[in-house]
Amino acid sequence: MNGLSTPHLLGIRDLTREDIELIFSQADHFKQVINQPIKRVPSLRDITIANLFFENSTRTRLSFELAEKRLSADVINFSASTSSVKKGETLVDTVNNILAMKVDMTVMRHASPGAASFLASRVNSVIVNAGDGTHEHPTQALLDAYSIREQLGSIRGKKVAIVGDIRHSRVALSNIWCLKKLGAEVVLCGPTTLIPKHIESLGVRVSHDLRETLAWCDVANMLRIQLERQEVEVPYFPGLREYSSLFGLDRRLLESLSRKIVIMHPGPINRGVEISSDVADHSQSIILQQVENGVAVRMAVIYLLAQGIKRT
């Protein structure tokens, strides 16, 4: 047993509130570690982890690799674009070949929703979902919630707005599960076409008025428009300029609010679309603190899951 209610991290939906709180308290410890001159602990010296990225990533891939190295695990990295996947090998065959090299844990990003769960049911490895299509991005939601807790002291009762392309966002879905489990109020804000029908069944409210939403919230998490997932004949909105004028956050709007709110973004940012440059770099923006916290939170996730691996 690893202390969590699950042997894998496939999505926030599967976690309990106690799981999330355990991850946060472990991350508090690792945040101290990574702020010391020697940023490494020997905890996972006997564990080997494979990072499998079938989709592009900057933050998540580097953050996982750094977290694993800070825990003294052996790390191997796999990128689909330079692998034998290009020669027709299946996902399960690829992963089983990697596991035959005595790998204990697999971190995977994949374009297909459900890919992490599919793998967990077919291979003998601890699986960590680093983003599966439009489905979930659990470690992003954990680091987002951890960053809100760090800024505001707690999550319960806090008002969080998630703004933008909710339809295509795994970050939005994982954030909704996480924030609701921790007792936050959540409003989703964006154009009608970018908000899934019936999303209120997850216990959130929907708004199409950015100013009203910002006036209500304590935290605004601004999401990128995922143009790469919008391959449709009729576009979801007329153009980026119109989107930006209705749902983009600029300094004038931010500073017209009657109180200070926390600004977040999971990255990558499209400066001048969902967020202006001066808001991204504003003193109320915690975008780089989110990235720093990502390493501590991923260390906590990997450390806890590794406690369930039998050492032979």
- By beta carbon distance, the residue nearest ligand CP is 60
Per CB under 6 A, 59 contacts ligand CP: yes
Interacting residue with ligand CP among 157, 183, 203, 268 (CB under 6 A): 268
Cβ-based nearer residue to ligand CP, 43 or 60: 60
Strands 205-207 and 219-222: unpaired
Alpha-carbon distance of 24 to 30, in angstroms, equals 10
Least distance to ligand CP from the beta carbon of 264, Å? 11
What does the alpha-carbon distance between residue 191 and residue 248 come to, in Å, rounded to a whole number? 11
| Phi and psi angles of residue 194, each rounded to the nearest 5 degrees, phi first | -105, 10
Q: What is the residue-wise DSSP string for 103-123?
A: --EEEEEESSTTHHHHHHTTS
Q: Is 267 in the site for ligand CP (CB under 6 A)?
A: yes
Shortest Å, Cβ 67 to ligand CP: 13
| Site membership for ligand CP, residue 3 (CB under 6 A) | no
DSSP 168: T
Omega before 268 cis (within 30°)? yes
Interface segment toward ligand CP; rule CB under 6 A; list 52-60, 71-79, 100-108, 156-164: 52-60
Which among 81, 40, 77 has a CA at the least distance from the CA of 60?
A: 77
- Least distance from C-beta 256 to ligand CP, angstroms? 28
Tokens encoding 178 = 């996480």
Question: Do the beta carbons of residue 288 and residue 150 sit within 8 Å?
Answer: no
We find the least distance from the C-beta atom of residue 140 to ligand CP, in angstroms, to be 5
Task: Give the nearest distance from C-beta 168 to ligand CP in angstroms.
Answer: 13
Residue whose CB is less far from ligand CP, 8 or 109: 109
**Which tokens in the block code for residue 259?**
């109180």
Shortest gap between Cβ of 170 and ligand CP (angstroms)? Answer: 9
Q: Report yes or no: 91 and 67 within 8 Å, Cβ to Cβ.
A: no
Q: Would you count residue 282 as binding ligand CP (CB under 6 A)?
A: no
Closer residue to ligand CP, CB minimum distance, 191 or 294: 294
266 contacts ligand CP (rule: CB under 6 A) = yes
Which parts of this chain interact with ligand CP (CB under 6 A)?
Answer: 57-60, 131, 137, 140, 266-268
